[in-house]
């Protein structure tokens, strides 16, 4: 019996790997759709949840709630990371999609400020807390699952599908927005149209739940469980414990450092860009939505290309491409974008930003996963990342809007540049994780 328990799991075929990766990725898409619908539709629902005021003030309120959701992400990364390292990647992914479904449904059904007063923003915050808990656990577990499911030769390519589906979630949110803008009048969008995408998200989460319940567990986790069943030394060092994670301080700091610039640039040129085009460049909401849609479609195509490149040349050169590009180009790109007078100019500038950004987004998941052993991988990937994103990604939009309101908007451009430069130093000094990977150890 013990020999059967300790035997390695049978070799997984490429078809089986792809099937599992597709199932995991579709769930990831739904999760991120639900997360980004909030940002895409905040222009419409901000007046419903907050007292009357100017547009920037209402956007600041909705951005503050957006940031509150990010504050729950470290807790989600911690709890779901522990759960994934102890009970399995599949179990944690199922739990995260259930939380996201609940948060979306609550937003869809909550009455506005005029109906229930202060309870409206309170319930909005509660829903966002649930979603933050969900997406905080989703990132680390999903990154771990996709990286462990991929074969060694194509790990960068397959793990890039985390951001393919993340961007696809944003695209889906924008597609719903563009569709509703065509069939509903602006007053209808403000009155009730914004509730539709949240209801759709809650329904789609149930489909994702079904898919995730039928996914296979990763070989790495199965091997860990088999070893723990026969090795008392391994069993005594329970996986997923925070004190076990603290044995890897260099790896933790590496995750923080490589995430810092990437998350600021990502949220600046994706979620905030749509508001920037309306609030600074003077585009209509429909124009900003269309430009954002085309920009994200371009970025989506880039992810597997950059992931495949990292499998050939290594992870570090791809990260350096992002770090150098973001440090040198952020100020000129945002300055020119604020002065753009037509959609094609805006799209061209954002396409350059997406090209540079893809050096981070395409491979950041696999780089983090390659830093940690199986017993602590989901927690090691998820918790430091979630803390960094909560502090910097979650506050990016709020800081940008505050700078706008104080008439010092260009200060934000330099803030993004500084964060990218710090990450560049980390990329410069860190080893190439493809060469020192703990994935196969």
pLDDT at position 440 is 62
C-alpha to C-alpha distances, 159 to 120, 138, 142, nearest whole angstrom: 39, 14, 9
Q: Has residue 6 got a pLDDT over 70?
A: no
pLDDT at position 240 is 60
DSSP secondary structure of 331-354? HHHHHHHHT--SHHHHHHHHHHHH
Q: Report the percentage of the chain scoring pLDDT > 70.
A: 89
Q: Has residue 214 got a pLDDT over 90?
A: no
Q: How confident is the model at residue 364 (pLDDT cuts 50, 70, 90)?
A: very high
Q: Among the ranges 14-23, 43-52, 383-392, which has the highest mean pLDDT value?
A: 383-392
Check residues 216 and 276 and name the one with the higher pLDDT. Answer: 276
- Copy the structure tokens of residue 231: 């090795």
Please report the beta strands in 5-163, taking only residues with DSSP state E, as ranges in sequence order. none
DSSP secondary structure of 142-179? HHHHHHHHS-GGGHHHHHTHHHHHHHHHHHHHHHHHHH
Q: Has residue 340 got a pLDDT over 60?
A: yes
Q: Has residue 3 got a pLDDT over 60?
A: no
pLDDT at position 119 is 83
Q: What is the mean pLDDT of residues 164-189?
A: 88
Check residues 176 and 230 and name the one with the higher pLDDT. Answer: 176
d(C-alpha 135, C-alpha 165), whole Å: 13
Q: Has residue 235 got a pLDDT over 50?
A: no
Q: Name which of 157, 38, 162 is nearest 89 in CA terms.
A: 162
Window from 15-24, 241-250, 263-272 with minimum mean pLDDT: 15-24
pLDDT at position 317 is 96
Q: Has residue 225 got a pLDDT over 70?
A: yes
pLDDT at position 223 is 80
Assess contact for 280 and 332: CB atoms under 8 A: no
What is the chain's length? 441
d(C-alpha 398, C-alpha 392), whole Å: 10
- Output the CA torsion sign for 115, 116, 121, 125: negative
pLDDT at position 384 is 92
pLDDT at position 5 is 40
Q: Has residue 92 got a pLDDT over 70?
A: yes
Structural domains of the chain, ranges and CATH numbers in brackets: 10-215+248-429 (1.20.1250.20)
C-alpha to C-alpha distances, 400 to 13, 289, 347, nearest whole angstrom: 47, 19, 20
Q: What is the pLDDT of residues 261-273, one digit of tens each?
A: 999 999 999 888 8
Assess contact for 142 and 28: CB atoms under 8 A: yes
3-state secondary structure of 4: helix
Question: Which alpha helices (H) appear in 231-284, and where do they start and end?
Answer: 232-236, 242-245, 249-269, 271-279
3-state secondary structure of 251: helix
pLDDT at position 9 is 54
pLDDT at position 412 is 94
Q: How confident is the model at residue 186 (pLDDT cuts 50, 70, 90)?
A: confident
Q: Has residue 332 got a pLDDT over 90?
A: yes
Q: How confident is the model at residue 226 (pLDDT cuts 50, 70, 90)?
A: confident
d(C-alpha 314, C-alpha 19), whole Å: 26
Q: What is the mean pLDDT of residues 233-261?
A: 80
The distance of Cα 90 from the centroid of its chain, to the nearest Å, equals 18
- Copy the structure tokens of residue 207: 């489909």
Q: What is the pLDDT of residues 385-417, one digit of tens each?
A: 989 988 888 788 889 988 888 889 899 999 999
Instruction: Share the mean pLDDT of the chain.
Output: 85
Q: What is the pLDDT of residues 50-61, one digit of tens each?
A: 766 655 656 666
Q: How confident is the model at residue 63 (pLDDT cuts 50, 70, 90)?
A: low
Q: Has residue 227 got a pLDDT over 80?
A: no
Q: What is the mean pLDDT of residues 20-49?
A: 80
């Amino acid at each position: 019996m013990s020999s059967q328990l300790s035997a390695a799991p049978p070799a997984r075929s490429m078809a089986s790997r792809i099937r599992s990766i597709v199932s995991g990725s579709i769930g990831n898409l739904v999760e991120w759709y639900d997360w980004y619908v909030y940002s895409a539709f905040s222009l419409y629902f901000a007046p419903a949840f907050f007292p009357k005021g100017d547009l920037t003030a209402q956007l600041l309120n909705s951005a503050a709630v957006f940031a509150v959701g990010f504050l729950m992400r470290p807790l989600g990364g911690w709890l779901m990371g522990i759960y994934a390292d102890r009970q399995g990647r599949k179990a944690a992914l199922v739990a995260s999609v259930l939380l996201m479904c609940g948060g979306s449904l609550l937003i869809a059904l909550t009455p506005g400020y005029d109906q229930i007063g202060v309870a409206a923003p309170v319930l909005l915050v509660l829903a966002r807390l649930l979603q933050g808990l969900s997406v905080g656990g989703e990132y680390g577990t999903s990154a771990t699952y996709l990286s462990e499911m991929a074969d060694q030769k194509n790990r960068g390519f397959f793990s890039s599908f985390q951001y393919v589906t993340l961007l696809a979630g944003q695209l889906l949110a924008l597609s719903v927005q563009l569709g509703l803008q065509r069939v509903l009048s602006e007053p209808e969008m403000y009155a009730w149209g914004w509730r539709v995408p949240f209801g759709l998200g809650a329904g789609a989460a149930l489909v994702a739940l079904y898919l995730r319940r039928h996914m296979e567990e990763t070989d790495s986790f199965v091997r860990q469980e088999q070893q723990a069943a026969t090795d008392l030394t391994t069993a005594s060092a329970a996986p997923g414990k925070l004190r076990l994670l603290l044995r890897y301080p260099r790896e933790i700091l590496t995750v923080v450092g490589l995430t810092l610039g990437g998350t600021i640039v990502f949220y600046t040129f994706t979620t905030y860009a749509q508001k920037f085009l309306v609030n600074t460049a003077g585009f209509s909401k429909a124009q900003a939505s269309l430009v954002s849609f085309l920009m994200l479609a371009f970025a989506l195509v880039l992810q597997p290309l950059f992931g495949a490149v990292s499998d050939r040349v290594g992870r570090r050169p791809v990260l350096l491409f992002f770090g150098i590009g973001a440090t040198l180009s952020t100020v000129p790109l945002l300055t020119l974008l604020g002065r753009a007078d037509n959609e094609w100019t805006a799209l061209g500038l954002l396409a350059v930003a997406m090209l540079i950004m893809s050096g981070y987004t395409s491979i950041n998941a696999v780089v983090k996963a390659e830093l940690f052993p199986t017993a602590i991988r989901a927690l090691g990937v998820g918790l430091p990342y979630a803390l960094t994103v909560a502090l910097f990604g979650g506050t990016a939009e709020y800081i940008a809007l505050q700078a706008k309101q104080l008439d010092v908007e260009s200060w934000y451009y330099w803030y993004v540049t500084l964060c990218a430069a710090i990450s560049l130093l980390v990329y410069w000094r860190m080893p190439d994780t493809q060469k020192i990977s703990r994935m196969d150890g």
